Amino acid sequence: MQRRNLWLMVGVVALAVLPLAIHLPGTRTDFGGSDDQAGEMVEKLRPGYQPWFHALWKPPSDEVESLLFAVQAAIGAGFVCYWLGWSRGRTDGRKGREDAGA
Amino acid sequence: MHIMEGYLPVGHCVAWAAVATPPFAAGVRRIKRHLEEHPETKLLLGAAGAFAFVLSALKMPSVTGSCSHPTGMALGAILFGPAPMTVLGGIVLLFQALLLAHGGLTTLGANLVSMGVVGPWVSWWLYRGGRKLGTSMGIAVFVAAMLGDLATYVTTSFQLAFAYPDPVSGMGGSVLKFLGVFAVTQVPLAISEGLLTVLVINLLLENSKPELRALNFISEEVSDATA
């Protein structure tokens, strides 16, 4: 199972890294966000389109934005790993008690 | 899949919010009832929400030379059913709309329908269907997570095409244009989401058997010896 999980991780990393080298012909190479590209598409379909509402608050710089994205990922990963570690400890503890009682 | 703030006409914003409200309310009720019946799965539900938090923060490069992110909705949908994921998806979308100017309050309804309703339901149905047809758990989880992720982005493309039909080729042409932006980019990411969801399910099968049994994800008979 552990080897299988390792291959799953290798697959994810490969899928994230390979597109940096190989991409479909005729596509862009700036690696911008697809959300922003959809916005550009709206402006192409409706020339002169102005968004009628703006975000109440925007991260003041790319650095602050990347900080907040990292915080979001850290909170998520932290909690997922807390669960995985806690349940692993529970299993080990149970095994330990069984060994002691046997 | 985030439609940006102010990028849908007012009528569409209101309509999508109206569509999203009943499943959101049903999700809240579902979570309440679930936690009353199975309080021991509370932390695991939190972990499923946290998985969506991580995955939707990871903007990954794709073969179209642009970046997008997975949604992480399938894991929770497979374990807890699709209804609670509408609520968890809503929390993720609200966080990103308020703190990251990613998505938006006016487009929250539309984004919730694609990420919090369509994605989880597609994943749940595919997982259930796959298992009924005798597919192995790993394959069923992979297909459910991958296609649920893709379904979210296809939904976004249709939502934008409804709002902005192409002046020449109509709605069909517009759908193709937005699918070009979202769906093609999403293919490798959807595969990644499938692989990561299988990975987490594998880890849960090692040490979270009591909770998985409470959720009826694995049957009662599975021995406790390895749990």
Whether the predicted pLDDT of A98 surpasses 90: no
pLDDT of residue B222: 53
B1 part of a folded domain: no
Whether the predicted pLDDT of B39 surpasses 60: yes
Model confidence at B221, in pLDDT bands (50, 70, 90)? low
pLDDT of residue B107: 98
B168 touching A (Cβ < 8 Å): no
Domain with B61, as residue range(s), is: 10-214
Whether ipTM exceeds 0.90: yes
Q: How far apart are the first and last CA of chain A?
A: 28
B5 part of a folded domain: no
CB atoms near residue B216 (< 10 Å): 10
pLDDT of residue B125: 98
Tell me how many residue pairs between chain A and chain B have CB atoms under 8 A apart. Answer: 202
Helix (H, G, I), strand (E, B) or coil at A56: coil
Helix axis angle, B170-207 relative to A62-101, nearest 10°? 30
What is the DSSP secondary-structure string of B58-69? --EE-TTSEEE-
Q: Which of B57, B61, B184 sits opposite A73 (nearest CB)?
A: B57
Cβ distance A16 to B66 less than 8 Å, yes or no, reads no
Distance from chain centroid for Cα B180? 20
Contacts of B98 in chain A (CB under 8 A): 56-57
What is the spatial distance between Cα B134 and Cα B132, in angstroms, rounded to a whole number? 5
pLDDT tens profile A12-31: 999 999 999 888 887 777 89
Model confidence at B227, in pLDDT bands (50, 70, 90)? very low
Whether the predicted pLDDT of B98 surpasses 60: yes
Backbone angles phi, psi at B199, to 5 degrees: -55, -50
pLDDT of residue B226: 43
Q: CA of B157: which chain A residue's CA is closest?
A: A38
Model confidence at A59, in pLDDT bands (50, 70, 90)? very high
pLDDT of residue A91: 93
> In whole numbers, what is the pLDDT of chain B averaged over residues?
95
pTM equals: 0.94
Q: What domain count does chain B have?
A: 1
B187 part of a folded domain: yes
Mean pLDDT on B152-181 = 97
B224 part of a folded domain: no
B72 part of a folded domain: yes
B181 touching A (Cβ < 8 Å): yes
B221 part of a folded domain: no
Model confidence at B56, in pLDDT bands (50, 70, 90)? very high
